Structure 1
Amino acid sequence: MNDWLRGVVKNIGSYSYNDKNEYDAERGQAISRVITVPLIFLYMVVALFASGREMSIVMIVMLIYATLYIPGSWLLLHNVVKKPGYRLGRRIFAMVNDYLAMTFAMAVGGAITAPVFAMILWVTVGNGLRYGPRYLTAATTLALLSLAAITYFNSFWREQPYLVATFVMTAILVPTYVYVLLNRVHKAYNSALEANLAKSRFLAQASHDLRQPIHAISLFIACLRDARLGVEEEQMVDNIDRSLQSVSRLFQSLLDISTLDSGKITAHLEEVAIGEILLDIARQNSEAAHWTGVELRVVKTKRFVRTDPSLLTTMIQNIVSNALKYAPGGPVLVGTRIRNGKLSIEVHDRGSGIAEEHLPRLFEEFYQVRERGDKDTEGVGLGLSIVQRLARLMGLNVSLRSVVGQGTTVVIGGLTIVAEPILLPDVIRVKPVSPLDGLRVLLIEDDLNILIATGILLEKWGCVVQQEDALPEGKDVSCDLVITDFDLGAKTTGTDCIDYVRRQNGLHIPAIIVTGHDENRVRDDVSDPEIPILSKPIRPAELRSMIMALRLRSEQ
């Protein structure tokens, strides 16, 4: 408990924020209480002794009550921290006790308690600003009841009717004015929230429609690469692929922001090898590094951490993309370091660096460093904002340091290190990767362009492909693998197709779902957790790797 109290005192400035760095109204109110109650208590003691009044039994009882109320305030804060969130009973208990304490103190203190009325007004307005108009109404009612009780028990107040009338009018007019302003603010907030939700809905729908052509173009480009093109034609394909990847990265940033705004992202923690994630990111960015003349190096590590691999990959990917974009022609180093028992991921580049005046705003949405004469760069300034928001979601921290002319370093810190998991022998046994020749694939996709492009690509890899644009009812569906889109029209999903094919064959046939929707939404509909879900647009190499992994698993 002592350590907890020291932590509260040490972090008093930021303690009103929860673990996700979101403002907590109850925690803020509890913090205010533990600060102000001792100050009021001190004022009352000093004022009583300075007035020369004899201590009556009632005053002694008041001092005892205040003495108990101070640790009670800390206990209430402790409860808020341990059990955060909305607790109606706790709020009512805190409000009633606040007004009882102030009423008791002012009722027995005589003239010296008049300045304490400012606390009644402050607590009343504070409850309204923190909790909303309904609480402001309740607090105002309690304040008026408190004034009535004080006037009844305090002889000085009874002898000052004009002072009491002034206090009553103030206790009504100020909260009323605040109530009007709060209603206006709430209306403006609701309008802004609705506009933001409309934007998110539009981006979610547009993202699904945009994924399809980007995914199809990516597949057609992969087919062209295997078409024995000449040197000039191969260069043109490379240029098309490079432009497509630029569009894809921009599109992914907009999609990430839309998904974060929707509040649908949750972290699913698991034990992962951080080295494999870093190497995979390096492989994914090898072409982009080659195009920008960057030597992308990864320091190998065998550490395991507990994190959400998908969200962490998105964070590192955004940082590496920025390094490739803003530090072309130089080395980029990705590595790890142990800090205070936690693992940090660091990305270093040798670019031109960032001027100090830009550093405080780099994590703002759509903020980009622009100097006179700078060449245009792709992107809209969302990368670091996405990184920071995902870090908050997972309880991590992100920092950036940069020196003009020397480069920039971005650090993701706070990853929990775990012991290397013990794998069963049949899991760690490695077999030679089998070729895809002769693999019978049932491909189901309602978009004709994607169906054709994927079919051509699979056949070039040696697969025997049966192409269908809907649930293949009444047809021979003998196959070794099902690759299906999720939404297929006619109230049919990829899950329906997989279940149908497995029933017809009487076998647990491996399957892959490729979708343009949010992965979490699709996962809720898929009953088999072993079915991988790939998000469009997908790189052909990723699809091939997944097919090889499923075939290897089925042969074990």
Structure 2
Amino acid sequence: AVALVALAATTYFNSFWRSEPYVVVTLVMTAILVPAYVYILLTRVHKAYNAALEANLAKSRFLAQASHDLRQPIHAISLFIACLRDARLGVEEQQMVNNIDRSLQSVSRLFQSLLDISTLDSGKISAQPEAVAIGEILQDIAQQNSQAAQWAGVTLTVVATHRFVRTDPSLLTTMIQNIVSNALKYAPGGPVLLGCRVRDGKLSIEVHDRGPGIAAQHLPRLFEEFYQVRERGDKDTEGVGLGLSIVQRLATLLGLEVSLRSVENQGTTVVIDGFDMVAEPVRSLEAVRAKPASLLDGLRVLLVEDDVNILMATGILLEKWGCIVQQEDALPEGKDVTCDFIITDFDLGAKTTGTDCIAYIRRANGRKIPAIVVTGHDENRVRDDVGDPQIPILSKPIRPAELRSTILALKLQAEQQPVHA
């Protein structure tokens, strides 16, 4: 509009322009057509952007729903496998159980990678820093990967450390787990070392392997999503190439730096750097985790889970650990709910959640009973709903050792400092 007004004014006051009408017409057409063309282009770009945004949101919604639905059967299968391990099976049957467990772990790791990248894309993850014993985290990861290391023929060694740092233990565990999984996958048959080093007042975590190493041309792209090192004739390996991308994103979230160096035929080293060291806290819940399972004998557990398979599998496992289990597939209103411990799913149907269940049971018993919430949803969202930092949130699928150690920790903590409602 301004251009047309300017052209009209110039034509009116300029005799040369009035004598050249074709020039004026050309300029007027240019003043109209160019903005119109730009407007059309911007409109198309805007529509394309909205379509891409909607597709991305649809992908996130799909992965979120699929993650919840897929967690349930994987969680149930892992619990049934744990029950089978405690059964008196023959050598051949035990080997079959081991093979099933190995395949399930592969599926679980792949599924967890897709879930992690989807959750990171959603921007819903926030760090919850606290004083963390690095040595305990490294030992836990080594223990969780001991079976996988045995299958890969890897000697997994942890260098002991008593250092404490301030970070988010859950996110840090995910980072190290992805690095260790890569080492077991790409460097089978050799040693893998986990340890710490202090540089310039900061602590770093290092994972070393003695695998075939990585060619120099691949190194700049290793942290890209879905990038995998593939050479002609290489055998297939599990995974989709998201492990290091997840590590990089979590490092950025935690304010850390990740670097990788590798030499062909010598091995690979991944370093997570930038941890702020802190003093050891006065008390740590982790200090009581590694207790014998006999401490669970006679523990009265109320188990609330709307999935029948998971309810049955978890109940069998708890009973094998010596617990007295009351199984419920919904909020047990109007029933005897006397118990020492609560394990509840988050979604219980009928607009009821694990938060409601815990509050109801605690009111019925007149005391603050230790509780665990198990969920297939985003852990941060569930934690916000529960609103109690003393109630652990365990994400499906749960390894039996993780469930048992969490129960033991809460039980012993309640015995040392009983809290009444």
Summarize the Cα distance change of 1:435–1:339 in structure 2 as closer, same or farther, 3 Å threshold. same
SS in 2 for 1:455: helix
Summarize the Cα distance change of 1:413–1:230 in structure 2 as closer, same or farther, 3 Å threshold. same
Tell me the distance in 1 between the aligned counterparts of 2:170 and 2:84. 30
1:423 and 2:282 are equivalent in the alignment: yes
More strand by share: 2
Tell me the distance in 2 between the aligned counterparts of 1:343 and 1:406. 25
* Deviation of the 1:510 alpha carbon: 0.8
The corresponding residue for 1:390 is: 250
1:186 and 2:49 are equivalent in the alignment: no
SS in 2 for 1:508: coil
* Deviation of the 1:173 alpha carbon: 8.0
* Deviation of the 1:392 alpha carbon: 1.8
Tell me the distance in 1 between the aligned counterparts of 2:107 and 2:332. 34
Summarize the Cα distance change of 1:364–1:216 in structure 2 as closer, same or farther, 3 Å threshold. same
Tell me the distance in 2 between the aligned counterparts of 1:349 and 1:234. 30
User: Do the aligned residues in 1 keep the contact of 2:291 with 2:405 (CA within 8 Å)?
Assistant: no
Tell me the distance in 1 between the aligned counterparts of 2:285 and 2:48. 60
Summarize the Cα distance change of 1:404–1:169 in structure 2 as closer, same or farther, 3 Å threshold. farther
The corresponding residue for 2:396 is: 536
What whole-Å deviation, never above 9, does each CA across 1:113-148 have from its counterpart, x for those lacking one? xxxxxxxxxxxxxxxxxxxxxxxxxxx98xx8xxx9
The corresponding residue for 2:204 is: 344
Tell me the distance in 2 between the aligned counterparts of 1:388 and 1:303. 23
Tell me the distance in 2 between the aligned counterparts of 1:288 and 1:431. 21
The corresponding residue for 1:329 is: 189
The corresponding residue for 1:221 is: 81
* Deviation of the 1:174 alpha carbon: 7.2
**150, 155, 161: which one pairs with 1:290?**
150
SS in 2 for 1:222: helix
User: Do the aligned residues in 1 keep the contact of 2:131 with 2:281 (CA within 8 Å)?
Assistant: no
* Deviation of the 1:208 alpha carbon: 0.6
SS in 1 for 2:138: helix
**287, 293, 297: which one pairs with 1:437?**
297
1:457 and 2:304 are equivalent in the alignment: no
**228, 238, 246: which one pairs with 1:368?**
228
Tell me the distance in 1 between the aligned counterparts of 2:367 and 2:232. 64
Aligned alpha-carbon RMSD (Å): 3.0
Tell me the distance in 1 between the aligned counterparts of 2:38 and 2:320. 70
What whole-Å deviation, never above 9, does each CA across 1:144-191 have from its counterpart, x for those lacking one? 8xxx9xxxxxxxxx9xx99xx999999998777655444333322221
* Deviation of the 1:424 alpha carbon: 5.6
1:317 and 2:177 are equivalent in the alignment: yes
The corresponding residue for 2:106 is: 246
The corresponding residue for 1:74 is: none
Tell me the distance in 2 between the aligned counterparts of 1:359 and 1:500. 55
Tell me the distance in 2 between the aligned counterparts of 1:260 and 1:247. 20
* Identity fraction in percent: 80
Tell me the distance in 1 between the aligned counterparts of 2:332 and 2:65. 27
Aligned length: 404
Tell me the distance in 2 between the aligned counterparts of 1:454 and 1:197. 34
Q: Which runs of 5+ in 2 are unaligned?
A: 7-13, 417-421
Segment of structure 1 superposing worse, 317-326 or 278-287: 278-287
User: Do the aligned residues in 1 keep the contact of 2:344 with 2:374 (CA within 8 Å)?
Assistant: yes
1:256 and 2:87 are equivalent in the alignment: no
More helix by share: 1
Segment of structure 1 superposing worse, 292-301 or 213-222: 292-301
* Deviation of the 1:212 alpha carbon: 0.6
Tell me the distance in 2 between the aligned counterparts of 1:427 and 1:290. 26
The corresponding residue for 2:363 is: 503
Tell me the distance in 1 between the aligned counterparts of 2:220 and 2:290. 51
The corresponding residue for 1:60 is: none
Tell me the distance in 1 between the aligned counterparts of 2:190 and 2:349. 49
What whole-Å deviation, never above 9, does each CA across 1:228-285 have from its counterpart, x for those lacking one? 1111111111111111100100010011111111111111222212222111111111
SS in 2 for 1:488: strand
* Deviation of the 1:431 alpha carbon: 11
**467, 482, 498: which one pairs with 2:327?**
467
Segment of structure 1 superposing worse, 418-427 or 311-320: 418-427
Tell me the distance in 2 between the aligned counterparts of 1:182 and 1:510. 58
* Deviation of the 1:432 alpha carbon: 7.2
Tell me the distance in 2 between the aligned counterparts of 1:431 and 1:203. 35
Tell me the distance in 2 between the aligned counterparts of 1:431 and 1:457. 18
Q: TM-score, normalised by structure 1?
A: 0.67
Summarize the Cα distance change of 1:308–1:176 in structure 2 as closer, same or farther, 3 Å threshold. farther
**139, 144, 155: which one pairs with 1:279?**
139
